[in-house]
């Protein structure tokens, strides 16, 4: 099956956003054994969108569109697909009920233009949208399968995983199983160098690395007749990867690092608190992204001003004067201070220079000290996250990820 992804939206052509949906869907389709041959991005322009659809129909068996399903006059995807494939748009009562419920729950009035989101191609499979208002859908026309997904990534991603992939998998033979090994603390190229022989020759299961800032995700995918047979193929590969990468692996099939941290703390019946300067609450935010974090997370302090470090966390004025706010000594005092303040078993602290300003030759942008206090015992790690290609956001993200990994390692 040869696929083309069509992203619809003038904001993509103006460069306001990147087509990250294209990347996400491509990954999932590759895992299904679908060849993606083209991505096309086109604006909210009826003539050009119609021409793109006509071409895609000629050269691809599967067309997946993203965007243009919303309530406004420039949302045209369904209308033009129906025109190209000779289908009628009909109102789907179930989708309409969901949209009405969405507005009722939010307490906002539903304006008339929202009705058109419930208009779908006649005879299509409806992809109910549990993450927004506009439903997606799919239909088969001759040798061509057409699927439509909403554009916003927070809707498009779950719609891909829970609607599009099951729809396509049901049409394929057998099952596909993916196991994800999550790695933090080794760069992608080092991971690749260590695993290259395995990755190069791996067909079933295949092993694909994906890089996030400060983390690598290794996806082991097998295709087989049954779930048990697929699992028998992926299990030895997962085991071999875990053996090769050792402590850098923090979990298999866990949703993310913060989930692994919360799980590890819960398993050991330990509580956590955070004291953040340069990350400004990002570590606490990531821990509390996890539903049920309240079982292990007591709270934290964002000590941006030195007065807050002194008065709330009890960092001695002499420590700040002698070593500065960005120092191992301050990091240690912050971690100790937040444990004392909240009574938690584990405290993690971050103090550093996120930039773009504030760096010096001695303490450059990207320098972060991470303090860890575990039942009174402390240690401090140094991170140098600065580089020409890295901005404030990247430095803060990397520091938060490193801090979470240090908590995980300490608890584990």
User: Closest CB to a copy of itself among 231 and 285?
Assistant: 285
Q: Per rule CB under 8 A, is residue 54 in the interface with a copy of itself?
A: no
**Nearest Cα to 313, choosing from 348, 268, 283?**
348
Q: Cis before residue 19, ω within 30 degrees of 0?
A: no
Q: How far apart are CA 332 and CA 345, in angstroms?
A: 15
User: Closest CB to a copy of itself among 3 and 146?
Assistant: 3
User: Closest CB to a copy of itself among 355 and 371?
Assistant: 355
Write out the binding residues for a copy of itself, residues 237-266 only, by CB under 8 A: none
DSSP readout, 148-195? EE-SSHHHHHHHIIIIIHHHHHTTSSSEEEEEEEEEESS-HHHHHHHH
Q: Per rule CB under 8 A, is residue 164 in the interface with a copy of itself?
A: no
Q: How far apart are CA 335 and CA 314, in angstroms?
A: 10
Write out the binding residues for a copy of itself, residues 198-227 only, by CB under 8 A: 199-200, 208-211, 213, 219
3-state secondary structure of 290: coil
User: Closest CB to a copy of itself among 82 and 325?
Assistant: 325
3-state secondary structure of 337: helix
The piece of 77-85, 86-94, 225-233, 293-301 that touches a copy of itself (CB under 8 A) is 293-301
Write out the binding residues for a copy of itself, residues 306-325 only, by CB under 8 A: 307-308, 311-312
Q: Per rule CB under 8 A, is residue 393 in the interface with a copy of itself?
A: yes
Q: How far apart are CA 298 and CA 223, in angstroms?
A: 44
Kindly state the smallest distance separating residue 40's Cβ from a copy of itself, in Å. 6
Q: How many residues bind a copy of itself (CB under 8 A)?
A: 124
The piece of 83-91, 140-148, 367-375, 378-386 that touches a copy of itself (CB under 8 A) is 378-386
Q: Per rule CB under 8 A, is residue 342 in the interface with a copy of itself?
A: yes
Q: Per rule CB under 8 A, is residue 74 in the interface with a copy of itself?
A: yes
Dihedral angle, C-alpha 6, 12, 17, 18, nearest 10 °: 50
**Nearest Cα to 121, choosing from 101, 100, 136?**
136
User: Closest CB to a copy of itself among 132 and 371?
Assistant: 132
User: Closest CB to a copy of itself among 15 and 86?
Assistant: 15
Q: How far apart are CA 374 and CA 292, in angstroms?
A: 22
Q: How far apart are CA 176 and CA 206, in angstroms?
A: 11
The piece of 26-34, 82-90, 223-231, 373-381 that touches a copy of itself (CB under 8 A) is 26-34
Q: Per rule CB under 8 A, is residue 56 in the interface with a copy of itself?
A: no
């Amino acid at each position: 099956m040869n696929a083309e992804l069509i992203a619809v939206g003038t904001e993509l052509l103006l460069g306001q956003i990147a087509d990250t949906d294209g990347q996400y869907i491509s990954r999932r389709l590759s895992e299904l054994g679908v060849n993606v041959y083209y991505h096309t991005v086109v604006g909210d322009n009826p003539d050009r969108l119609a021409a793109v659809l006509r071409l895609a129909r000629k050269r691809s068996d599967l067309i997946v569109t993203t965007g243009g399903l919303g309530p406004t006059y420039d949302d045209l995807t369904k209308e033009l697909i129906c025109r190209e494939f000779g289908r009628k748009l009909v109102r789907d009562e179930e989708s309409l009920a969901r949209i009405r419920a969405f507005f009722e729950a939010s307490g906002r009035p539903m304006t008339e233009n929202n009705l058109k989101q419930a208009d779908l191609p006649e005879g299509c499979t409806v992809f109910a949208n549990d993450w927004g208002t506009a439903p997606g859908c799919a239909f088969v026309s001759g040798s061509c399968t057409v699927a439509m997904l909403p554009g916003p990534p927070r809707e498009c991603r779950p719609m891909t995983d829970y609607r599009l992939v099951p729809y396509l998998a049901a049409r394929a033979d057998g099952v596909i199983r993916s196991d994800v090994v999550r790695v933090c603390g080794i760069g992608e190229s080092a991971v690749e160098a260590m695993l290259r022989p395995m990755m190069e020759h791996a067909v079933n299961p295949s092993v694909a690395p994906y890089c996030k800032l400060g983390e690598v995700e290794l996806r082991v995918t097998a295709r087989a007749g049954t779930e048990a047979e697929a699992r028998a193929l992926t299990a030895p590969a997962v085991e071999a990867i875990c053996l090769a990468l050792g402590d850098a692996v923090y979990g298999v099939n866990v949703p993310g690092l913060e989930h692994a941290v919360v799980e590890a703390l819960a398993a050991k019946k330990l509580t956590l608190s955070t004291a953040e300067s340069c990350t400004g609450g990002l570590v606490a935010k990531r821990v509390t992204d996890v539903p049920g974090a309240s079982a292990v997370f007591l709270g934290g302090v964002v000590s941006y001003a030195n007065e807050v470090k002194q008065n709330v966390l009890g960092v001695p004025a002499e420590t700040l004067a002698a070593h500065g706010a960005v120092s191992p000594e301050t990091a240690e005092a912050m971690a100790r201070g937040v444990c004392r303040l909240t009574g938690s078993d584990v405290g993690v602290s971050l103090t550093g220079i996120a930039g773009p300003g504030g760096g010096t030759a001695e303490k450059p942008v990207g320098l972060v000290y991470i303090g860890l206090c575990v039942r009174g015992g402390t240690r401090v790690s140094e991170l140098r996250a600065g580089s020409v290609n890295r901005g404030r956001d990247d430095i803060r993200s990397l520091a938060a990820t490193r801090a979470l990994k240090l908590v995980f390692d300490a608890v584990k």
